[in-house]
Amino acid sequence: MAIEIERKFLVSNKQYKSDASEQVRITQGYLNSAPERTVRVRTKGAKGYLTIKGLSSESGTSRYEWEKEIPLDEAKALLALCEPGVIDKTRYLVPLGQHTFEVDEFYGENQGLVVAEVELSHENESFGKPLWLGEEVTGQSKYYNSVLMRRPFSGWQ
């Protein structure tokens, strides 16, 4: 079983863009957005992916994740079957030391939200924190993409 271990942060400024080694546009939807078993379909550049994630740990840091690359045309067809609320974002990859931060800049109803994640090998692993890294939001479900598609950032008050 593959376990994803990551921490999530808000981003305090746009410095990450000049630090990024690459960027890619991502469109994703959910065939199932139940927290116990999300099933995500994603187009990432010219590739398609199907991902299944399990329930997060109590800390929100780890959960089961299975991902498989699928043909782009199949991913686009599956997106048409997804629950309402497609996520549209650009992902910036920002290397720092032995880690790479994935910084997601959201569009559409989530415009204005920028979130960074760093994957770790264990929950207590230390990592360098760039100056643009803001408040930690690990485990706060409102920042999960599967929740943002139902309750977008633009509606928060």
From CA 144, how far away is CA 63, in angstroms rounded?
A: 13
Q: In the annotation, is 30 catalytic?
A: yes
- The active-site residue out of 30, 92, 143, 144 is 30
Q: What is the DSSP secondary-structure string of 108-124? A: GGGTT-EEEEEE-SSTT
Containing H/E element for 26?
strand 22-32
Distance (Å, whole) CA 133 – CA 12: 6
Q: Which amino acids are annotated catalytic?
A: 30
